[in-house]
Structure 1
Amino acid sequence: MTLVKFNPEKKNNVLLPGFNDIFESVLEDTFFSGRRTSNIPSVNISDSAEAYHIELAAPGLKKEDFKVSVERDKLTISTEKKMESSEHEKSYTRREFSYSSFTRAFTLPDSADVDRIEASYQEGVLKLSLPKKEEAKAISRQIEIQ
């Protein structure tokens, strides 16, 4: 564990000088650095004339790891993964457990056709296509000027 350093040149809270330095020191410690990573994958959402598209970056997972469900107007994407590794050397055993899970929920617009949602998983990206209802598709036409 690193020693707490006080840097008087940093602008700290006037009432509690050094307060930010203590937390920065603890959180930058090597014990915590590998454990502070976010388990929530990034999402891109786009809209075309025909459908809404969701792309979720989740490398290292398999398509079987995902659970995609729709309930009322909420689309939920979740996964739970449990990894175990063990290493046998000489006269001792070391086991390491790793659990990761996330849940992302999206409120669907009324124009989404929930009965025709399609999903695919390729190269670490989960892609969902949410077709729009026929009455919600943008109708484009040229208007003649008189």
Structure 2
Amino acid sequence: MTLVKFNPEKKNSSLLPGFNDIFESVLGDTFFSDRRLSSVPAVNISESGEEYHIELAAPGLKKEDFRVSVERDILTISTEQRTESNNEGKTYNRREYSYSAFTRSFTLPESADVDRIQASYTDGILKLNIPKKEEAKAVSRQIEIQ
């Protein structure tokens, strides 16, 4: 008769090789990690000579869902959306409420004119145009060579 010692400290026991790996692969699956990361929308930031541009991808929302504010030099874009279904008289084995919220904050440069920021929401993209102050706009001129 052979005795096999059980070591609970060891990650993969010799009795059930790969058993813990299965649970780790299920619990560490992309389903769980994607649900955490999906609440933060992607952002593109660009700059032209006249203004800064921010594009935030947030499909499935309405323009009323967004709150855009500026406090000091911090631009904050946030939203909160709740969806509850009211089904009276049903017995549920599983019921999930949909709730999503995010907040993105950006530090604006001193050259940004916060009084003239414009925002629009079309086709799932929130676009913000942040004009530059007159003294910060790129001035180009031709220099004469003598």
Structure 2 gaps, min length 5:
1-15
Once the 2 structures are TM-superposed, how far is the Cα of residue 93 of structure 1 from its aligned partner?
Answer: 4.3
- Please state which structure has a larger fraction of its residues in strand: 1
Cα separation, 1, equivalents of 2:123 and 2:43: 15
Q: Classify the secondary structure of the residue corresponding to 1:85.
A: coil
Report the CA distance between 1:35 and its aligned residue.
Answer: 3.4
Give the match for residue 46 of structure 1. Answer: 46
* Structure 2 residue aligned with 1:55: 55
Q: Structure 1 unaligned segments of length 5 or more: list them.
A: 8-17
TM-score, normalising length: structure 1: 0.77
Q: TM-score, normalised by structure 2?
A: 0.77
Task: Say which SS state the counterpart of residue 115 (structure 1) adopts.
Answer: helix
CA distance in 1, matches of 2:26, 2:108: 42
Query: Once the two structures are aligned, what percentage of the paired residues are identical?
Result: 64
For 1:6, the aligned partner's letter is G
**Which SS does the other structure have where 2:60 is aligned?**
coil
For 1:25, the equivalent position in structure 2 comes to: 26
Cα distance in structure 1, aligned partners of 2:101 and 2:61: 11
Structure 2 counterparts to residues 42-121 of structure 1, below 5 A: 42-87=42-87, 92-94=90-92, 95-121=95-121
Between the two proteins, the alignment pairs up a number of residues equal to 129
Shift of 1:37: 4.3
SS in 1 for 2:85: strand
Which structure has the larger Rg? 2
Give the letter for the 2:27 counterpart.
V
Change (3 A) 1:29 1:39: closer
Q: Distance in 2 between matches of 1:35 and 1:140?
A: 48
The offset of 1:142, in angstroms, is 1.1
* One-letter amino acid of the structure 2 residue matched with residue 101 of structure 1: A
Q: Distance in 2 between matches of 1:93 and 1:116?
A: 53
